[in-house]
């Protein structure tokens, strides 16, 4: 088991990529902290990972709130668990809106969750990794939208692009201390975020992917597992994009 005795925090773990990553990490023996804004979905994921025989607990968390993130990490401290792995996966996406029609609220609803949430969680995780002194891995969730753009999704594109840049900066700050920071930029994947896209767009998504299909969450989870283990010990500050060939 490649993650035996490691503690992994996964935000947005109630569905989609987050749940797939939690299940994959559980298969590898990790102890898990399920951070999810939807309490019911968080409990569903918790039940699934506990069925695999690993220690885990769930904390209802809105990562766009610094105070909520502080409470999340305090709950980990209260259990005297270390922090070995952080997966900044929590995200959302509103309906596609041209930038000239976008409101302040629509902008912040996306940027605050993706970008600020990634910052808040990374800050708290790194503090604890440094105090223990045994390194760690931070995995941020960017998007292929950050690489090629997404018409109507300027807030999402901006947030994901900033996450890739944030990854590079933080990676260089802590690489010498054994903390590896990398990002994943998935292409189109079957997650709840796709539900916000019009049905007529689905054939277009498939057509834009040379592999000829939309990805499965489990395929992204495999990349996350690689970045969480020592198999990626020389990978620092990178954004890896499993996207079926839509951007190379």
The conformation of residue 114, written as its DSSP 8-state character, comes to I
Residue 156 designated active-site: yes
Pairing verdict, β 179-184 and 136-141: parallel
Per-residue model confidence as pLDDT tens digits over 114-145: 999 999 999 999 999 999 999 999 999 999 99
Query: Does residue 246 sit within a domain?
Result: no
In the structure, what pLDDT confidence band is assigned to residue 217 with cuts at 50, 70 and 90? very high
Domain housing 172: 7-240
- Over residues 229-242, the mean pLDDT reads 98
Query: Does residue 134 sit within a domain?
Result: yes
Query: Does residue 132 sit within a domain?
Result: yes
State residue 204's pLDDT score. Answer: 87
Query: Does residue 107 sit within a domain?
Result: yes
Contact assessment for residue 72 and residue 37, using Cβ atoms and an 8 Å cutoff: no
Looking at the 3D structure of the chain, how many domains does it have?
Answer: 1
When comparing pLDDT for 248 and 29, which is higher? 29
Of the listed 156, 174, 234, 247, which one is catalytic? Answer: 156
d(CA 26, CA 216): 18
pTM of the model: 0.96
Query: Does residue 248 sit within a domain?
Result: no
Return the CATH number at 144: 3.40.50.720
Query: Does residue 123 sit within a domain?
Result: yes
In the structure, what pLDDT confidence band is assigned to residue 31 with cuts at 50, 70 and 90? very high
Q: What angle do CA 15, 93, 70 make, to 5 degrees?
A: 65
Per-residue model confidence as pLDDT tens digits over 57-75: 999 999 999 999 999 999 9
Contact assessment for residue 28 and residue 231, using Cβ atoms and an 8 Å cutoff: no
d(CA 1, CA 10): 19
């Amino acid at each position: 088991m490649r993650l035996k005795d490691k503690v992994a925090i996964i935000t947005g773990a109630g569905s989609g990529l987050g749940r797939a990553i939690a299940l994959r990490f559980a298969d590898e023996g990790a102890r898990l902290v399920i951070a999810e804004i939807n309490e019911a979905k968080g409990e569903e994921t918790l039940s699934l990972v506990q069925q695999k025989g690993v220690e885990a607990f769930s904390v209802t968390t809105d990562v766009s709130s610094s105070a909520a993130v502080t409470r999340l990490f305090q709950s980990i401290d209260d259990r005297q668990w270390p922090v070995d792995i952080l997966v900044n996966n929590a995200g959302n996406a509103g309906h596609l809106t041209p930038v000239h029609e976008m409101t302040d609220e629509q902008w912040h609803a996306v940027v605050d969750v993706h970008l600020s949430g990634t910052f808040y969680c990374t800050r708290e995780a790194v503090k604890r990794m440094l105090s223990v002194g045994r390194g760690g891995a931070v995995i941020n969730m960017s998007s292929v939208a950050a690489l090629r753009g997404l018409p109507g999704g300027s807030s999402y594109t901006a947030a994901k692009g900033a996450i890739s840049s944030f990854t590079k900066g933080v990676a260089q700050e802590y690489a010498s201390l054994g903390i590896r920071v990398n990002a994943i930029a998935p292409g189109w994947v079957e997650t709840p975020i796709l539900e916000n896209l019009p049905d007529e767009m689905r054939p277009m998504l498939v057509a834009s992917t040379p592999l000829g299909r939309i990805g499965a969450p489990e395929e992204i989870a495999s990349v996350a597992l690689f970045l969480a283990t020592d198999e990626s010990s020389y990978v620092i500050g990178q954004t890896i994009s499993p996207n079926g060939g839509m951007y190379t």
